[in-house]
Amino acid sequence: MQGTPLVGRALWGRLLRNRSFAIGVVLVLVMVAVAIFADWLTPFDPLKSNVRARLAAPDAAHWFGTDHFGRDILSRVMIGARISLAIGAFTAVLAGVAGTLSGAIAGYFHRLDQPIMRIMDALMAFPSIVLAMVVSAVLGASLTNVVIALAIATTPHTARIVRASVLLEKEQEYIAAARSIGVGEWTILFKHVLRNVAGPLIVRLTYVFAIAILAEAALSFVGAGPPPPTASFGSIIAQGRDFMREAPWITVFPGLAIIACVLGLNLLGDGLRDVLDPRLKF
Amino acid sequence: MGHFLIRRLAGAFLVLVLVSLMSFALIWLVPGDPAAAFLDASATPEQVAKLRGALGLDLSLPQQMLGWYGRILSGDLGQSILLNRSVTAALIERLPVTLSLAALALAFAVFFGVAAGIIAAVNHNRWPDQAVMTTALLGLSVPDFWLGLVMVLVFAVSLGWLPSGGFTPFLQSPAEWLRGMILPALTLGLVQVGFIARMARASMLDTLSQDYVRTADAKGLAKLHVVLRHALPNAMIPILTVIGIVSGALLGGAVIVEQVFSIPGIGRLIVGAIASRDFPVLQGGLLFLAVVYLAINLVVDILYAVVDPRVRLA
């Protein structure tokens, strides 16, 4: 990146003046707050059935209606946000670590470039959602395995982005300067090069977070997601499918919650990209 | 062109070798004994041993690997444990269904995406541009299967215009086939429209700023003529690459959307294999989709080199 790096206040100022970022941050913070404080916010016990209120349409008591067990959909969506956002966040962390390591090593050490990137190419040849589905099914569906499956599907692209930035960065003069005063290669890579790769990486991981929420929902929908009784956005929709005609609200509201999260993250990512990584703008 | 073709084919071959190795390696990810995982707890040790034999798990690793490559080279992806038939046959039988769904979705996505991209580029930074970009972003944030369910709710359940699911083979009744495919293809395509619109807009903006476009403008040609006849053909070249990128998402999306609309394609085969842990179908299905994806991208790259000679030298 050219010019003085943006730090501290200057960075925040530019970010907050970016409309995408501002809207994205608000949406994401609201959803994260709901997920964290779900235990206190839920109007009803999300697991408690109430036969007298089966398939009730949205009203003053149940804002999002109830399901076939009479469970409150709003409460279930709030608890579901916790699972879905946690899966998204852990996937972003795991794909971030794996993608940074493999991409940085491939970009910095020329001899390892081809082997690592061909493996990433091969992983990218699988339709990512099917890859995640099959890996999760083979490992056995659990929260951890879903995160591993989603990280495997999102790491290659992350590695590619990190590698591209490292390739650009390692040709800079300050790297040659560091090497000339005897700084070790690994130190140069991890202390100097990677610091300047942070921009594109953070942007990418915001999108990975969004992609993982969408993918987790799809996985749950086809039965390769975290097992019941875990309620995630996807599993609530999957259960609501059998009652689409009588009770469409079971399906509709969790979907809107997914859109709110993913849209928020995408806006956040677009804003970060505009400010941190102007090269990528289109 | 010869050099370009050889290099591209060699690259594709290497990826193919790795992709098949990864599909083979999937079985190692199974915690414990894959044969025992497929059979339930009541299975006798003899039954488990028999299935291990059938899956080739009792052989040594090099033997297993040699066997796997030997079989896939002759197009044999093994036997489905559940369906008790050849995985290759089951996949090929369903391929036309999945491909036609993905192709129809691609047609929708390219048509609407390019149209929206042009409108946005021509009205750069004015409200139609912002409307298109906002809609595109929204499209990227909607889960495809949920959109499908909502479409069923609106167009099948409430309005009754189109069937809510099911599949009629094209040869049996083309009209019924199309009626059944509209909602699934729209669902699958709409999710990609946003991405294509963004790319088309960028490509169009780039082309519109070229000198030859300014010349065409300056000599007094009608704006619409300049955009559609002079700028669009060149702006479409990068869109070709997008088709390659999107094909992976479309194949993956088709797997999910088939589930929503009960379409008997490759997706239903794979999803059916998840619950029963039918490993040969999971491995074979994944490998098969990757091969289809690689083939599509090979064709796209070659086409690109044909329309844009600069690529061959890169």
Residues in B touching A224 (Cβ below 8 Å): 274
A121 closest CB neighbour out of B15, B31, B271: B15
Calpha distance B83→A205 (Å, rounded): 40
Instruction: Report whether A202 contacts A272 (CB < 8 A).
Output: yes
- Whether the predicted interface score ipTM is above 0.90: no
Pick the residue from chain B with its C-alpha nearest to A119: B18
pLDDT of A7? 62
Calpha distance A161→A165 (Å, rounded): 6
With an 8 Å Cβ cutoff, are B275 and A251 in contact? Answer: no
With an 8 Å Cβ cutoff, are B255 and A137 in contact? Answer: no
For residue A186, being part of any structural domain is answered with no
List, in sequence order, the alpha helices (H) in chain A: 8-17, 19-36, 38-41, 73-108, 110-125, 128-139, 143-169, 173-180, 185-187, 198-221, 233-240, 249-276
Calpha distance B283→A229 (Å, rounded): 28
- Could you say which DSSP state residue A242 is in? G
CA distance to A47, A63, A217, A256, per residue, from A71 (Å): 7, 12, 20, 18
Paired tokens of B134: 């906002």
For residue A264, being part of any structural domain is answered with yes
Paired tokens of A201: 């990486």
Segment 143-182 of chain B within 8 Å of chain A by CB: 143-146, 149-150, 152-153, 157
Does pLDDT of B183 surpass 80? yes
Q: Is the dihedral of CA A76, A79, A83, A85 positive or negative?
A: positive
Segment 38-97 of chain B within 8 Å of chain A by CB: none
Q: Is B282 on the interface with A (CB under 8 A)?
A: yes
| pLDDT tens-place string over residues B12-25 | 888 888 998 888 88
Calpha distance B12→B20 (Å, rounded): 12
Calpha distance A265→A272 (Å, rounded): 10
Look at the block and give the residue holding tokens 């797997």. B255
For residue A94, being part of any structural domain is answered with yes
Residues in A touching B14 (Cβ below 8 Å): 118
Closest CA to A205 of A125, A279, A151, A149: A151
For residue A177, being part of any structural domain is answered with no
Q: How many domains in chain A?
A: 1
Q: How far is A53 from chain B (nearest CA, A)?
A: 23
Q: Is B14 on the interface with A (CB under 8 A)?
A: yes
Calpha distance B167→B261 (Å, rounded): 8
Closest CA to A197 of A90, A94, A91, A101: A101
For residue A191, being part of any structural domain is answered with no
Does pLDDT of B157 surpass 50? yes
Mutate to test the interface with B, among A20, A126, A280 (most CBs of B within 10 A): A126
Calpha distance B46→B126 (Å, rounded): 72
Q: How far is A190 from chain B (nearest CA, A)?
A: 29
With an 8 Å Cβ cutoff, are B248 and A122 in contact? Answer: no
B249: left (phi over 0), alpha (psi -120 to 50) or beta: alpha
Segment 185-244 of chain B within 8 Å of chain A by CB: 198-199, 201-202
Query: How many A-B residue pairs are in contact by the CB < 8 A criterion?
Result: 144
pLDDT band at B41 (very low <50, low <70, confident <90, very high): low
Question: Which are the contacts of B262, defined by CB distance < 8 A and separation ≥ 6?
Answer: B165, B166, B167, B268
Pick the residue from chain A with its C-alpha nearest to B133: A282
pLDDT band at B153 (very low <50, low <70, confident <90, very high): confident
Pick the residue from chain A with its C-alpha nearest to B138: A263
A125 closest CB neighbour out of B19, B26, B285: B19
Q: Is the dihedral of CA B135, B140, B142, B147 positive or negative?
A: positive
Calpha distance A277→B11 (Å, rounded): 31
Calpha distance A247→A243 (Å, rounded): 5
pLDDT of A105? 92
Residues in A touching B283 (Cβ below 8 Å): 134
pLDDT of A281? 43
With an 8 Å Cβ cutoff, are B282 and A138 in contact? Answer: yes
Q: What angle do CA A146, A147, A152 make, to 5 degrees?
A: 100
* CATH code of the domain containing A231: 1.10.3720.10
Calpha distance B312→B314 (Å, rounded): 6
The number of residues in chain A equals: 282
Paired tokens of B103: 């192709």
For residue A202, being part of any structural domain is answered with yes
Calpha distance A122→A71 (Å, rounded): 44
Pick the residue from chain B with its C-alpha nearest to A225: B274
Calpha distance B262→B156 (Å, rounded): 14
For residue A96, being part of any structural domain is answered with yes
Calpha distance A169→A192 (Å, rounded): 9
B271 closest CB neighbour out of A118, A124, A222: A222
Average of per-residue pLDDT across B64-81:
80
List, in sequence order, the alpha helices (H) in chain B: 2-29, 34-38, 45-55, 61-73, 87-122, 127-140, 144-151, 174-208, 211-218, 223-225, 232-261, 266-276, 279-307, 310-313
Q: How far is A104 from chain B (nearest CA, A)?
A: 21
With an 8 Å Cβ cutoff, are A266 and B141 in contact? Answer: yes
Q: Is B251 on the interface with A (CB under 8 A)?
A: yes
pLDDT of A279? 56
Average pLDDT, chain B: 83
- Could you say which DSSP state residue A278 is in? G
Strand partners, B79: B86
With an 8 Å Cβ cutoff, are B282 and A122 in contact? Answer: no
Instruction: Report whether B29 contacts A138 (CB < 8 A).
Output: yes
pLDDT along chain A (282 residues), means of 10: 57 80 90 84 74 71 72 82 91 95 91 91 90 87 89 93 89 86 86 84 92 91 81 84 81 89 90 73 42
pLDDT of A2? 44
pTM of the predicted structure, to 2 decimals: 0.87
Strand partners, B294: none
Mutate to test the interface with B, among A27, A87, A130, A280 (most CBs of B within 10 A): A130
Residues in A touching B249 (Cβ below 8 Å): 127-128
Least confident segment among A261-275, B29-43, B165-179, B296-310 = B29-43
For residue A178, being part of any structural domain is answered with no
Q: Is B300 on the interface with A (CB under 8 A)?
A: no
Instruction: Report whether B252 contacts A130 (CB < 8 A).
Output: yes
Domain that holds residue A120: 15-38+64-167+196-280
A139 closest CB neighbour out of B31, B249, B283: B31
Closest CA to A91 of A17, A142, A176, A152: A152
Closest CA to A44 of A18, A64, A25, A22: A64
Using DSSP's 3-state secondary structure scheme, residue A159 falls into helix
Closest CA to A80 of A244, A208, A254: A254
pLDDT of B73? 81
With an 8 Å Cβ cutoff, are A119 and B18 in contact? Answer: yes
Pick the residue from chain B with its C-alpha nearest to A120: B15
Q: How far is A91 from chain B (nearest CA, A)?
A: 18
Using DSSP's 3-state secondary structure scheme, residue A6 falls into coil
Does pLDDT of B221 surpass 50? yes
Q: Helices A233-240 and A198-221 sit at what angle, rounded to 10 degrees?
A: 30
With an 8 Å Cβ cutoff, are B248 and A270 in contact? Answer: no
Instruction: Report whether B304 contacts B236 (CB < 8 A).
Output: no
Instruction: Fill in the amino acid letter for B187.
Output: T
Q: How far is A12 from chain B (nearest CA, A)?
A: 24
Average of per-residue pLDDT across B273-290:
87
Cβ atoms within 10 Å, residue A17: 11
Strand partners, A66: A72
